[in-house]
Structure 1
Amino acid sequence: MRTGLFVTALALGLSVTALPASAETIHLFGPFKGEHGATSPIKGSASAMLDTTKNTLSYRFEDNGLTGPVNAIHLHGPAAEGEDAGVIAPIPGPYQTRMTGTLTLTADQVKDVLAGKSYINLHTEKFPSGEARAQLTTELTGHKHHMEH
């Protein structure tokens, strides 16, 4: 029995040390804003964790104040705030006011997301091209100069 525990501990220890040191998780976030002529006061925001090793984007968002139920949600890019872009990946339903999930991206899509060039778009029946949009940006944007000596 002791031998089995020792082997298990050894195997666990090896798997932990085998993780790449370059693994990086970037936190992104953005408030939802109306777009395409939507005038309803939209409340809510999106946050996401980008894993640059696994090329995954884990999202969490909440919306409020839309003209009706959401009928489609997509991650769009590459685009700066105020610009429209194509779909990077659809976010699957069922659609609710609060949602979480994970998308798998390509290396190029990860670069676009890191550059702040992606957004979560909420589509409704009244606004099929998108009623609300949350541009995903990093907390570090604009703060890089403080790190220089």
Structure 2
Amino acid sequence: MISTCGPHVRWAPVLMLAILVSGIARADTVALKANLQPSSEVPPRVSKGHGTVDATFDTDTKLLTWTATYAELSGPVTMAHFHGPAPVGQNAKVQVPIDKKALASPMKGQATLSEQQVSDLMTGQWYFNIHTQENPTGEIRGQVMPAN
């Protein structure tokens, strides 16, 4: 018997299975960003300080990974945190503290988030701020938003 199906048809089930498996195994990664400015603090601060947070969030593992950089602050960093839930202009409690040993720029870290934290982060309800001795409640701050 001669097959009327070409080689591409015989491989179709294998290709479909490979596509399905790769789709299941691959999580989405969401790029996030915050521009840190003294004017974003509540209340606003007067400072030459500025910085950025570049982060990624893995939707499968719920792992938030970040790099925060800063410059021209009034003094050494005493604390840094992700806070939420809060819209721009409001304060909120600490959600993810930055280890005191990791406060030098660039700050790098990661944390696994709870379902509620994920919901708040993904709806723009988190911010990042950096504290100094001169500005103990925060010197620069920025809302964490999708990078695109």
TM-score range, shorter chain: 0.7 to 0.9
Q: TM-score, normalised by structure 1?
A: 0.76
Deviation at 1:43, TM superposition (A): 2.4
Could you tell me which of 77, 90, 95 is aligned with 1:70? 77
List aligned pairs for 1:1-149, cutoff 5 A: 17=21, 20-21=24-25, 23-34=27-38, 35=41, 36-94=43-101, 95-140=103-148
Total equivalences in the alignment: 125
Instruction: Structure 1 unaligned segments of length 5 or more: list them.
Output: 1-16, 141-149
- Name the amino acid aligned to 1:138: P
Deviation at 1:122, TM superposition (A): 0.5
- Name the amino acid aligned to 1:99: M
Deviation at 1:92, TM superposition (A): 0.7
Deviation at 1:83, TM superposition (A): 1.1
SS at match of 1:110: helix
Preserved contact between residue 119 and residue 136 of structure 1 (Cα < 8 Å): yes
Deviation at 1:120, TM superposition (A): 1.1
Instruction: Structure 2 unaligned segments of length 5 or more: list them.
Output: 1-20
Q: TM-score, normalised by structure 2?
A: 0.77
Preserved contact between residue 63 and residue 98 of structure 1 (Cα < 8 Å): yes
Structure 1 distance, partners of 2:144, 2:34, is 5
Determine the structure 2 residue equivalent to 1:4: none
Deviation at 1:139, TM superposition (A): 3.5
Structure 1 distance, partners of 2:78, 2:62, is 27
- Name the amino acid aligned to 1:62: T
CA deviation string 1:22-55 (max 9, x = no partner): 6211101021111234211222211110111111
Q: Percent identity?
A: 34
CA deviation string 1:104-148 (max 9, x = no partner): 1101101111111111110111111111112110135xxxxxxxx
Deviation at 1:21, TM superposition (A): 4.8
CA deviation string 1:53-103 (max 9, x = no partner): 111110111001111111111110011111111011111132102111101
Structure 2 distance, partners of 1:88, 1:130, is 15
CA RMSD between the two structures: 2.0
